[in-house]
Amino acid sequence: MKLELGYINVKGVKFATENKFENGIVYVDELALKELLLKDSSLEDCNFDVAYPGESVRITPVKDVIEPRLKVEGPGGIFPGVISKLETVGSGKTHVLRGMAIVTAGKIVGFQEGIIDMSGPGADYTPFSQLINLVVVCKPAPMVEAHDYEEAVRLAGLKAANFVAEIAKDAVPDEVMAYETKGLIDSINEYPNLPRVAYVQMLQSQGLLHDTYVYGVDAKKIVPTILYPTEIFDGAIISGNCVSACDKNTTYHHQNNPVVTDLYAQHGKTINFVGVIITNENVYLADKVRSSDWTAKLAEFLQVDGVIISQEGFGNPDTDLILNCKKIEQKGIKTVIITDEYAGQDGKSQSLADADVLANAVVTGGNANQVITLPSMDKVIGTLKYVDKIAGSHAGSLADDGTIIAEIQVITGATNELGFNKLSAR
Sheet with 20-22, strands from edge to edge, namely 12-16, 25-29, 20-22
> In the set 58, 63, 69, 210, which binds another protein (CB under 8 A)?
210
Mark whether 242 is an active-site residue.
Answer: yes
> In the set 31, 176, 217, 283, which binds another protein (CB under 8 A)?
283
Q: Interface residues for another protein in 66-105 (CB under 8 A)?
A: none
Kindly tell me which of 147 and 169 has the beta carbon lying closer to another protein: 147
Contact between 395 and another protein per CB under 8 A: yes
Contact between 213 and another protein per CB under 8 A: no
DSSP-assigned beta bridge partners for residue 210: 241
Contact between 254 and another protein per CB under 8 A: no
Minimum distance, C-beta of residue 151 to another protein, in the bound complex (Å): 13
Q: Which stretch binds another protein (CB under 8 A): 28-36, 171-179, 259-267, 277-285?
A: 277-285
CA distance 226 to 268: 20
Contact between 221 and another protein per CB under 8 A: yes
Minimum distance, C-beta of residue 369 to another protein, in the bound complex (Å): 8
Amino acid at 45: D
Minimum distance, C-beta of residue 53 to another protein, in the bound complex (Å): 28
Contact between 63 and another protein per CB under 8 A: no
Site string for another protein, 17-56 (x = CB under 8 A): ----------------------------------------
CA distance 206 to 193: 40
Contact between 287 and another protein per CB under 8 A: yes
CA distance 390 to 407: 10
Contact between 370 and another protein per CB under 8 A: no
CA distance 78 to 96: 11
> In the set 143, 172, 185, 286, which binds another protein (CB under 8 A)?
286
Query: Which one, of 237, 159, 246, lies nearest residue 205 by Cα?
Result: 237
CA distance 40 to 187: 45
What's the burial of 39, exposed, middle or buried (CB within 10 Å: 0-12/13-18/19+)?
Answer: exposed
Contact between 209 and another protein per CB under 8 A: yes
CA distance 195 to 305: 6
Kindly tell me which of 234 and 247 has the beta carbon lying closer to another protein: 247
Query: Which one, of 209, 161, 213, lies nearest residue 62 by Cα?
Result: 209
Let me know: does 328 contact 303? Beta carbons within 8 Å.
no
Contact between 416 and another protein per CB under 8 A: no
Kindly tell me which of 284 and 301 has the beta carbon lying closer to another protein: 284
Give me the count of residues in the chain: 426
Q: Which stretch binds another protein (CB under 8 A): 136-144, 189-197, 201-209, 372-380?
A: 201-209
What's the burial of 298, exposed, middle or buried (CB within 10 Å: 0-12/13-18/19+)?
Answer: buried
Q: Interface residues for another protein in 138-177 (CB under 8 A)?
A: 146-147
Minimum distance, C-beta of residue 327 to another protein, in the bound complex (Å): 14
Let me know: does 340 contact 368? Beta carbons within 8 Å.
yes
Contact between 330 and another protein per CB under 8 A: no
Report which DSSP code applies to 247.
G
**# chain residues binding another protein, by CB under 8 A:** 51
Among 138, 242, 246, 325, the active-site one is 242
Torsion of CA 299, 315, 417, 366, to 10 degrees: -130
DSSP for 174-211, written as a single string = SEEEEEE---HHHHHHHSTTSPEEEEEEEEE-SSTTEE
Q: Which residues are catalytic?
A: 242
Residues that bind another protein (CB under 8 A): 109-111, 146-147, 204-210, 220-221, 241, 243-244, 247-248, 282-288, 313-316, 318-319, 342-345, 349-350, 353-354, 369, 388-396, 409
